[in-house]
């Protein structure tokens, strides 16, 4: 049986975090009906069967999605993921008591400030991130379509922590909350949101998302998402979007 660990601490919504809804609407008023930036990726477990490192698995998933869509796929190793988890959360390898998970906004803030380990000679830096309301489906779609995905947090019910079935509302199952879990959404269509977790692709219904998602962030990465022309695979200029975010926050 595949082991699964959680690891997202309770959401802490920082009022200083950029809000993405307005700038995304300005850039992409009508999101496309469907997008999938990683339709055939074989996803690693990245140690989330033994450690509560899902917040860093989602970082690795974002990098794999962006680089695969924009140029050449870059896949972090288990060692990279664990090193990044240790650097941000304080986890000490070999000390189970230090495996306490992480707060998503802290993970993203450190990604911007100090970067994370990745293959090659350079660290990986996030340019900016902004909050997207999980209740705003259009903004969720815009973030995935324009930015290559959405970094989200779930308060996951027990029945979603085992098996490989789609995540859908099931009133007959054990709906007690098992804990927090971070995942990376890399696609959507009219019926499903597409993600990866615990080493495999998965689909999530909009009803499940509405009930259990408690935070969502659009990520802007010039390092990974832009091509040599400094635009995304769909020709969005991310530098201008960052400027709009900063202007809106002033």
Enumerate the domain spans of the chain.
18-249
Query: Given this model, what pLDDT does residue 13 score?
Result: 84
| CATH code for the part of the protein at 18-249 | 3.90.70.10
**What residues have CB less than 8 Å from 11, skipping those under 6 apart?**
103, 104, 153, 180, 214, 215
pLDDT confidence band for 250 (50 / 70 / 90): low
Query: Given this model, what pLDDT does residue 195 score?
Result: 98
Q: Is the pLDDT of residue 53 over 90?
A: yes
Entry pTM: 0.96
What is the pLDDT averaged over residues 41-48?
97
Model confidence pLDDT, tens digit, residues 4-13: 999 999 999 8
**What residues have CB less than 8 Å from 181, skipping those under 6 apart?**
6, 7, 8, 54, 153, 154, 156, 197
228/205 Cα distance (integer angstroms) = 36
Q: Is the pLDDT of residue 32 over 90?
A: yes
């Amino acid at each position: 049986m595949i082991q699964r660990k959680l690891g997202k601490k309770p959401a802490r919504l920082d009022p200083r975090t950029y809000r993405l809804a307005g700038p995304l609407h300005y850039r992409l008023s009508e999101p496309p009906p469907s997008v999938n930036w990683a339709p055939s990726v074989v996803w690693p477990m990245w140690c989330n069967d033994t450690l509560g490192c899902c917040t860093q698995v989602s970082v690795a998933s974002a990098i794999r999605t962006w680089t695969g869509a924009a140029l050449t796929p870059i896949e972090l190793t288990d060692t990279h993921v664990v090193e990044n988890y240790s650097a941000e959360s304080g986890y000490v390898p070999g000390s189970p008591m230090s495996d306490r998970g992480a707060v998503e906004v802290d993970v993203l803030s450190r990604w911007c400030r100090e970067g994370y380990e990745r293959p090659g000679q350079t660290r990986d830096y996030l340019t900016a991130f902004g909050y997207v309301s999980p209740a705003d489906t259009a903004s969720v779609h815009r973030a995935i379509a324009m930015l290559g995905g959405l970094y989200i947090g779930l308060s996951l019910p027990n029945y979603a922590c085992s098996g490989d079935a789609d995540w859908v509302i099931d009133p007959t199952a054990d709906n007690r909350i098992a804990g927090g879990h971070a995942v990376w959404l890399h696609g959507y269509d009219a019926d499903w949101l597409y993600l990866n977790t615990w080493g495999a692709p998965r689909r999530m219904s909009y009803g499940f998302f509405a009930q259990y998602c408690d935070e969502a962030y659009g990520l802007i990465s010039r390092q990974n998402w832009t091509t040599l022309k400094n635009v995304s695979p769909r020709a969005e200029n991310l530098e201008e979007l960052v400027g709009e975010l900063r202007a809106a926050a002033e």
